[in-house]
Amino acid sequence: MSLPNTLLDWLDSRTGWRTGRKNLLEEPIQAGVGWWFVTGSILLMLLTVQFVTGVVLAMFYVPAPDHAYDSIRFIMERLAFGHVLRGLHFFGASFIVVAAVVHMLRVVALGSYKNPREVTWITGVVLLLVILGFALTGYLLPWDQKAYWATTVTINIARSGPLGEQVAGLLQGGTSLGSLTLLRWYAAHVFLLPSALIGFVIAHLFLMRRHGISGALKPVEGAAKPFYPYHALKDTIAGALVFSLLLTFAVVFRAPLDPIADPSDAAYVPRPEWYFLSLFQLLKYFPGPLEPLATMVIPALVVGLLVLLPFLDRRPDRHFLKRPLVTAGFGVIGLAIIVLTYLGYKDTPQHADPSVWGPLPLAGHTFVQDQRCLTCHTAGGTASELEDIRISRDPEWIISHARDPEVIAPGSREAPRGGMSEGQARSVFSYMRKLRAGVSPPQVSEQTRVVSLIIGRYCSNCHMIDGEGGAAAPDLSRVGASRDAKWLRNWITNPEEVDPFANMPAFGDTLTPDEMTALVEYLSARK
């Protein structure tokens, strides 16, 4: 007898693990339990992948607004397979939602929730809610624009219900969405929800074993076979297919990461992840005082019906055609969710692609080459090189600092001559944000460069363009849709000639003819 076997025998005599394994693996599965019954195992496989990738992500992630975003970028860019790791976790979340719904629909279609499996069903509904809780809390963690604004919406929804302020306070943890919010959502995501998930999965599996698999609608002739390896083979093949698809997603698509959260950026339009899109769309049909209907009443009704389903549908018939009410109910709710999701998707505005540079960051890129900045921000200088700085200050700080560094860091250097205009400082800030998002400046035509400098230096003092700039004058992002080149040229040259009450200064003397032509061409093309 070899040493390992002796050890295992000894362990068996003390723990009985062989009997335990036999009990686990050799559950007799009656004939007729076919491919429909692999959905639960797929979920279990996906949850395991999520657990493992989650633990590894937690080794690098920092749940603090100052560092969360940088730590995610570190994971994506510096770790071997880091982007696959986050991809598996990110897309895995969507896969789990789909798999959970498919599993539930299978249980409904085959009437598996009926007597005596009511409690198994209820633990399943709880698991679905836990999974949605994971999705909701995990969303905030990257601390990018999408995370921040989607969570703002979530908390405001909570505020609209009964005891709204209390619930919102509990979710938010502090007076505003910030470090305390991030910490408690993180704690929920990595401690609270996993504990609930593990507990309910064990309960769900225990009950499944206790009552056996519901099996085919009509008894099928044939001997029962042990779960392992016969049904396990089906589970494993299905699981491998799903895993391959997930891996393909994780390798081929980059898990998205928006620019870092910016509470001052009012131009950002938040959109939830696709599995909450139907709820989001529903909200639009219940304006004002009716809102709680969409945020609370209808979801609560759906969950309530789900929990009560086995008690409402008590006849033993399992075929879905013999249960027209249940089938129709699920059909209607399912169709409603699909239609709402589609409408919500169609209504989603195009997100600004972080790799596309608007005029302001382009201008900022040129402005920081300025000798004023480079006196200190240079290799071996008194301040770090600009390319090495990751902004952690708020926008006001950066803009004030760029306008006059002496104001912020007294004694650090001689006050620069001139200082920057508000628009220039905004451009610098905008450029720093791009740097932080890890995108390098694109090659642009000379004309675009010239125009971006004009916009950065002059226009953005008052005008907004692509969500950046001042708010004192109209947004220029789509100015070409309402004004043609001729009008724009006249207006910019001397506004008072077009409208005697115009507030805008004349730029006819400031800009060279070439600059004017370039600017007018650029603006009139923005439609």
Chain contacts with other proteins (rule: CB under 8 A): 26, 28, 30, 45, 49, 52-53, 55-56, 59-60, 62, 67, 70-71, 73-75, 78-82, 84-85, 88, 223-226, 228-230, 232-233, 236-237, 239-240, 243, 247, 379-381, 384-385, 388, 390
Q: Which CB atom, from 68 or from 108, has the smaller least distance to other proteins?
A: 68
Q: Which CB atom, from 36 or from 60, has the smaller least distance to other proteins?
A: 60
Pairwise CA distance, residues 208 & 202, whole Å: 10
Closest CA to 243 of 83, 50, 106: 50
Q: Are 358 and 466 in contact (CB under 8 A)?
A: yes
- The amino acid occupying position 211 is H
Q: Which CB atom, from 67 or from 413, has the smaller least distance to other proteins?
A: 67
Q: Which CB atom, from 3 or from 59, has the smaller least distance to other proteins?
A: 59
Query: What is the nearest approach in angstroms of other proteins to the Cβ of residue 10?
Result: 25
Query: What is the nearest approach in angstroms of other proteins to the Cβ of residue 435?
Result: 12
Q: Which CB atom, from 49 or from 282, has the smaller least distance to other proteins?
A: 49
Q: Residue 225: helix, strand or coil by DSSP?
A: strand
Q: Residue 74: helix, strand or coil by DSSP?
A: helix
Q: Which residues of 163-192 are buried (b: 16+ CB within 10 A; e: fewer)?
A: ebeebbeebbbeeebbbebbebbbebbbee
Query: What is the nearest approach in angstroms of other proteins to the Cβ of residue 43?
Result: 15
Residue with tokens 């989603």: 348
Pairwise CA distance, residues 241 & 42, whole Å: 10
Q: How many residues does the chain have?
A: 527
Question: What is the CB neighbour count within 10 angstroms for residue 66?
Answer: 12
Query: What is the nearest approach in angstroms of other proteins to the Cβ of residue 59?
Result: 7
Residue with tokens 């693996």: 25
Q: By CB neighbour count within 10 A (0-12 exposed, 13-18 middle, 19+ buried), where does 463 fall?
A: buried
Closest CA to 498 of 507, 524, 461: 507
Q: Which CB atom, from 61 or from 113, has the smaller least distance to other proteins?
A: 61
Query: What is the nearest approach in angstroms of other proteins to the Cβ of residue 226?
Result: 4
Q: Which CB atom, from 62 or from 158, has the smaller least distance to other proteins?
A: 62
**Pure H helices in 347-375:** 359-367, 371-374
Q: Which residues of 342-353 are buried (b: 16+ CB within 10 A; e: fewer)?
A: ebbeeeeeeebe
Q: ω into residue 513 within 30 of 0, thus cis? A: no
Query: What is the nearest approach in angstroms of other proteins to the Cβ of residue 87?
Result: 9
Q: Which CB atom, from 334 or from 381, has the smaller least distance to other proteins?
A: 381
Q: By CB neighbour count within 10 A (0-12 exposed, 13-18 middle, 19+ buried), where does 274 fall?
A: middle
Query: What is the nearest approach in angstroms of other proteins to the Cβ of residue 151?
Result: 21
Query: What is the nearest approach in angstroms of other proteins to the Cβ of residue 378?
Result: 9
Query: What is the nearest approach in angstroms of other proteins to the Cβ of residue 20?
Result: 16
Q: Which CB atom, from 211 or from 526, has the smaller least distance to other proteins?
A: 211
CA angle 42, 46, 50 (to 5 degrees): 170
Q: Which CB atom, from 70 or from 370, has the smaller least distance to other proteins?
A: 70
Query: What is the nearest approach in angstroms of other proteins to the Cβ of residue 391?
Result: 12
